[in-house]
Structure 1
Amino acid sequence: MPKILITGNGFDLSFGLPTGYSDFLKICKKLQSSKEFDWSNLKDDIIVLKNSEKLPNSDFLDFETFKEKLNENTWFRYLSREYGINTWIDFEKHIEKALSIILAILDDIKVETFIKNGRYPINGGILYKEDLDETQYEIYLTLIDFKIILYDEFDQIKLNPTFLKSIEKFYVDLEKEKLYDFILNELNIFTSLFSDYLSNIVLPLTELSEGTIRIDLLKHIDYHFTFNYTPTFSRLISKSIPTTFIHGELEKNNIVLGINDWEQTINDRSSLIPFTKYFQKLYSGINLKFVDEIENEDKLYQFFFWGHSLDKSDALYINEVFNKVDNINKEGATGKIIVIYHSDSSRFSIIKNLIEIRGSEDVLRKQRDENLVFLHCESNELKKELSAPMTNRFDGLNLFYAR
């Protein structure tokens, strides 16, 4: 009877580690303006530092290069300006938002600039819409962030010649592929910045973290899957239980940051595939195995989803677990899904997300049949189920902990 733990970002956050997107952005902005790296300057920004009398005994490797990359990276500049990005799910949505704006405006530039007016002399450049429409202000800022338009020495807005195709002495078209390559490379740099942040900020903090999780409650775990990139479980819970990293692993330098898919668009879809998480996983050789590969003779399974919001961005994996439970029940065994929430607002979001993924009929049926239960993270019922081993097929529980 395997016990399977699946962790999300809330797992790391419960140890006071600054792995949230808002943590990353806030701390990096502070580091941008710092002359040198000093842990004491971050004490008010990191929970585990607030609760500890010690500071990590480490330095930030190549801090100056890190700051330079932060200042130059187009994605960091764009995301620093955007509001309403509090989670990594919001982050993915804003990547898609930026790409959608760029896609739409490139088509507009092609029609309005080249199809209608033809060619332009190289020595004069190409002016871009001198009259600024206030309704398009966000579009202008996005184009500036990604260097698609530039200000010249006379404060005139011009198309960046880097992304223009020239024949002889004239600009005749856009070079979209060169622009896509540039934006993708900037996303790769952003990913490397996040890796540096995890390596130099988050990992040293695990030595100070005590967390709010009773480690002894997880001693029966047999398998561990994580949507995180950090080895928090192996460092703080158990080194003997192997971890499968679903979205890449920091220590292997293959973490994945991207969007789900571009099925909703036709134009330039092939050029956008490298921005997707599934492409990055295939390209990086990340292990794609999940719970369907786990087999057990008595068909008893316990799934603990710890720190996961059940958002549709991970619908593929959530569906696999739910379908696994359906198959278990059809074969005469029993499986339950217990969704664990830490507040009324998180419970609200979890139910909403779950209905969006599985549909109201499936969610209501599972709850009516007691195959789906919602428990608070501090409830005695949850502690009992985490600490007690499953002894017969009617004790089968699949636990989701949402952060």
Structure 2
Amino acid sequence: MNILIVGNGFDLSHYLPTKYDHFMDVMRAIEEKNTGEKVKDLSIHSVEEWVNEIDKIFEKRKDQIDPDYAMNFDELFSKTRESYFIAKTKEFYLTEQINLSAKDVFKLQYRLELNSWYQYFKKHVEEIKTWIDFEQKIESVIVATAQCIADLEKINNTSDVHSYLTWKSKEQFRIKEKIFHILDCFGLWEAEEYVLMAVAGGKTVKGSRPNINPRFCYGGNLENGLNPLSFLDFLQQQLEQFIVIFDLYLELVISQLNPASMLDIEAKEFVYPDKIYSFNYTNTYQRIHDSVEVEYLHGSHGEYQNIVLGVSDLEDESLKKIKAYGFTKYHQKLFKDTDYLFLDEYKKNIEDTKRKFDEDLQLMSANALSDIKARFMKMGYTGNNINLDLNFYIWGHSLDVSDKDYIHDLFSLNDDMDRNVRVIVYHFNKTAKFDLLNNLLAILGKDKVEHWMKNKWLQFKENPKIVPENAITLEDLPKM
């Protein structure tokens, strides 16, 4: 059986702009699109209330000409930092069909402005290059939250909160500047006026200082102190709203990119798969190549989107203490009911065979045991002997530690004996091969990786090429 495992690099091989940079560049173009003056205080409504209001406005104007706020492909990608890639996208796809309506532009602008995670990521756009960097930034926010909560719990007098939040002060017990600014992006602090000093004539000089935002305090009252659960719930809801924004990008842009001609996968040893395990949210293989069974391990986009975006685990004990599990991929996979089971049928085959062998042996009398065992040995049946005959092709997955559980599962299938499981890892270039091998060594250890490669169970090969049908390739040119 041939099984294809795909990551984001599979979509990128098809010149689909699904990199984190691509997404953020398009969001920036939408955000900066001039659509007239907005309401000054968007916080008077929730994001869904604003979306409903926009729907009502456009419904009232349905018989009128829409304002000229729609955005075509070139406008959407006008801020791109990877012009070569987008040029290839235009070569491969009918990009002239992409047109984001004025209503969709409006809705996305409101969603972007009201989303704390987007506003935070936007400030770190140069630091975050990949979706793995993105996950690490999520972790930095929840770690900062946990540290701050732990500190605030040590403060008994609410008046001492002010000195703690004054990170420029010389007080020993004060918030770190980095943590202050991270949490400020999410509105945990609110400026308050206070009497700085009294002057002649009974007048006072007032100043401004940060304090906890009352909306995140018990009962909405500063005197009651911070309600950690309230702030964590807010972060969680905002992350889900960010996922909605990303889903809209996949729906309104990526899934609407239709090939200009049939696209072929060109590689000598590539075999069309019987099944796909996808770490992507898109249905690229089915949409462009062929219908095949796909299991979306991290969810998929669309009407019933169940996209998983989070951290791999809670490494910091402080995060476990505040039960920040909603930010983990495994919590989201269980909660959103994704196709999170990976290779379970094959692992079950191995376990069932082992168990049956053990049960058969237990049924034999002690006297007959050696004869029975000898007979089984002659048959080559040792309790583990089951041929799986599986060929795995990994295309576009980073093999990063964030998916280490899946990697352990895959490379356990030949434990104890050769069950005819073979793995080919495709790489973009030598640098990518170096990184992929590094990641495998970090997860599996030197001995296992060496064992697999020595037996040729694991091989690294260059990515197959995606070419338009009937395109002339180097192989087609006459030999000199």
Instruction: Tell me, yes or no, whether TM beats 0.5.
Output: yes
- The 1:249/1:267 distance shift into structure 2, 3 A limit, reads closer
Partner of 2:111: 69
Query: What does the per-residue CA deviation read over 1:204-247, in whole Å, with 9 as the maximum and x for residues that have no partner?
Result: 114448667339976631111100011111100112x1111110
- The 1:304/1:138 distance shift into structure 2, 3 A limit, reads same
- The 1:210/1:20 distance shift into structure 2, 3 A limit, reads farther
Instruction: Give 1:100 deviation, angstroms.
Output: 0.6
- The 1:357/1:170 distance shift into structure 2, 3 A limit, reads closer
Instruction: Give 1:49 deviation, angstroms.
Output: 4.1
Q: Within 2, Cα distance between the matches of 1:268 and 1:378?
A: 43
Aligned partner of 2:76: which letter?
L
Partner of 2:429: 343
Determine whether 1:39 maps to 2:79: no
Aligned partner of 2:128: which letter?
I
Of the candidates 159, 162, 176, which is equivalent to residue 228 of structure 2? 176
Partner of 1:383: none
Query: What does the per-residue CA deviation read over 1:293-316, in whole Å, with 9 as the maximum and x for residues that have no partner?
Result: 156985311111111111111111
- The 1:57/1:193 distance shift into structure 2, 3 A limit, reads closer
Partner of 1:165: 218
Specify the SS of the correspondent of 1:325: coil
- The 1:170/1:227 distance shift into structure 2, 3 A limit, reads closer
Specify the SS of the correspondent of 2:129: coil
Determine whether 1:149 maps to 2:185: no
- Number of residue equivalences: 366
Query: What does the per-residue CA deviation read over 1:336-362, in whole Å, with 9 as the maximum and x for residues that have no partner?
Result: 333222212211211110011101111
- The 1:356/1:203 distance shift into structure 2, 3 A limit, reads same
Contact persistence 2:192–2:208 (CA under 8 A): yes
Aligned partner of 2:110: which letter?
E
Instruction: Give 1:157 deviation, angstroms.
Output: 2.1
Instruction: Give 1:190 deviation, angstroms.
Output: 0.5
- The 1:186/1:339 distance shift into structure 2, 3 A limit, reads same
Q: Within 1, Cα distance between the matches of 2:243 and 2:188?
A: 21
Determine whether 1:6 maps to 2:2: no
C-alpha root-mean-square deviation of aligned residues, in Å? 3.0
Determine whether 1:105 maps to 2:178: no
- The 1:209/1:201 distance shift into structure 2, 3 A limit, reads farther
Determine whether 1:309 maps to 2:398: yes
Gapped regions of structure 2 (runs ≥ 5)? 35-68, 81-85, 194-206, 351-385, 466-480
Q: Within 2, Cα distance between the matches of 1:237 and 1:79?
A: 34
Residues 322-333 of structure 1: pairs in structure 2 closer than 5 A: 322-326=411-415, 330=417, 333=419
- The 1:81/1:175 distance shift into structure 2, 3 A limit, reads same
Query: What does the per-residue CA deviation read over 1:258-301, in whole Å, with 9 as the maximum and x for residues that have no partner?
Result: 11121431465453011111111111122223223156985311
| Greater relative contact order (CA < 8 Å, ≥ 6 in sequence) | 1
Instruction: Give 1:9 deviation, angstroms.
Output: 0.3
Q: Within 2, Cα distance between the matches of 1:265 and 1:106?
A: 13
Of the candidates 139, 162, 178, which is equivalent to residue 179 of structure 2? 139
Contact persistence 2:298–2:340 (CA under 8 A): no
Contact persistence 2:3–2:393 (CA under 8 A): yes
- Amino-acid identity (%): 28
Query: What does the per-residue CA deviation read over 1:110-144, in whole Å, with 9 as the maximum and x for residues that have no partner?
Result: 32xx32x2569xxxx96763452699432222121
Q: Within 2, Cα distance between the matches of 1:284 and 1:244?
A: 14
Q: Within 1, Cα distance between the matches of 2:105 and 2:30?
A: 9
- The 1:21/1:141 distance shift into structure 2, 3 A limit, reads same
Q: Within 2, Cα distance between the matches of 1:209 and 1:74?
A: 40
Residues 3-402 of structure 1: pairs in structure 2 closer than 5 A: 3-35=2-34, 36=69, 37-43=71-77, 45=80, 46-51=86-91, 54-60=95-101, 62-82=104-124, 83-111=126-154, 114-115=155-156, 117-118=157-158, 129-130=165-166, 132=168, 136-152=176-192, 155-165=208-218, 171-208=223-260, 213-214=265-266, 220-239=272-291, 241-251=292-302, 252-266=304-318, 269=321, 271-294=323-346, 299-326=388-415, 330=417, 333-377=419-463
Contact persistence 1:223–1:243 (CA under 8 A): yes
Given the two structures, how large is their TM-score scaled by the length of structure 1?
0.82
Larger Rg: 2
Q: Within 2, Cα distance between the matches of 1:376 and 1:173?
A: 57
Contact persistence 1:149–1:158 (CA under 8 A): yes
Contact persistence 1:74–1:146 (CA under 8 A): yes
Q: Within 2, Cα distance between the matches of 1:212 and 1:29?
A: 33
Gapped regions of structure 1 (runs ≥ 5)? 380-403
Contact persistence 1:339–1:372 (CA under 8 A): yes
Aligned partner of 1:307: which letter?
G
Given the two structures, how large is their TM-score scaled by the length of structure 2?
0.69
Aligned partner of 1:96: which letter?
E
Partner of 2:44: none
Query: What does the per-residue CA deviation read over 1:44-88, in whole Å, with 9 as the maximum and x for residues that have no partner?
Result: 533454325751254346321111111121111111112421111
